[in-house]
Amino acid sequence: MKKILCFGDSNTWGYIPNLGTRYDENTRWTSILQNLLGKNYEIVEAGCCNRTCFIDNPDGLEQTGYKVLPKYLDNTFDIVILALGINDIQKFFNPSLTDIKKGIENLISITKSICPRAKIIVISPASLSSCVKTQYFKRQFDDIAIEKSTHFSKIYEKTAEENNCLFFNWDKIVEVSQLDGLHFSKESHYKIAHELYDFCLARINC
């Protein structure tokens, strides 16, 4: 059996826009991917709401990606999916684009040190919608954060290439929900799972 770790934030956890509850196991992209891959694969879901990639999160260890990642890793994983970073650009953190690149590089480095044989898939967060400024998360995200979110795909793609990782771009296949400007609809979860399944078949020989 092959093992896949899905390490991310609320969009990996399965946050329902405008509700704050969690999609069920028939709706989350991680669970759908498990069903598509079948019984010869084990998906380990490791999403957490408000988890940052490289910022020391005041909410604690579980929300601080680079600190908690080693807890989830071991050398039995065949694939590690890293899907976070959007929470680092909240306006009170205000990282530079260079900080963002260094942050995902550090996450890759941690993964390689513990899982040297695993294939790493780096997923760039979906760009924020301007409506995030008027919805539930308006205190966290402003125009500067929205603009920074448009740079994630290029930064992550370049970083993945430099570190011999695979790159998967959410912006090319889905958009965030207009209900909160940050999270995915159930239709987007379905599409992510199927696109990622095809991606894995083509590039990793799943």
Determine phi and psi for 12, rounding to 5 degrees. Answer: -95, -35
In the predicted structure, residue 16 carries a pLDDT above the cut 80: yes
CA separation for the pair 101, 162 (Å, rounded)? 11
Q: What percent of the chain has pLDDT over 90?
A: 95
| Closest by CA position to 123, among listed 37, 7, 23 | 7
The Cα–Cα gap between 124 and 17 comes to 19
**What value does the mean pLDDT of the chain take?**
96
Domain spans in the chain, listed from the N-terminal domain onward:
2-203
Predicted confidence at residue 206, as pLDDT, reads 63
What is the CATH number that goes with domain 2-203?
3.40.50.1110
Taking only the tens place, the pLDDT of each residue in 66-79 is 999 999 999 999 99
Mean pLDDT confidence for 3-21: 96
Question: Tens digits of per-residue pLDDT, 45-57?
Answer: 999 999 999 999 9
Does the pLDDT of residue 92 top 70, yes or no? yes
Q: Mean pLDDT throughout 166-181?
A: 97
pLDDT in the model for residue 204:
81
Mean pLDDT, range 132-157, rounded to an integer: 95
Output the pTM of the full model: 0.96
Q: Compute CA distances 128 → 13, 109, 143, 160, whole Å.
A: 18, 27, 10, 21
Phi-psi sector, 20: left (phi>0), alpha (psi -120 to 50), beta:
left
Q: What value does the mean pLDDT take over residues 85-100? A: 96
* DSSP states of the chain: -EEEEEEESHHHHTBPTTT--B--TTTSHHHHHHHHH-TTEEEEEEE-TT-BSSS--TT-STTBHHHHHHHH--TT-SEEEEE--GGGGSTTT---HHHHHHHHHHHHHHHHHH-TT-EEEEEEPPPPPGGGGTSTTTTT--HHHHHHHTTHHHHHHHHHHHTT-EEEEGGGT----TTTSSS--HHHHHHHHHHHHHHHHHHT--
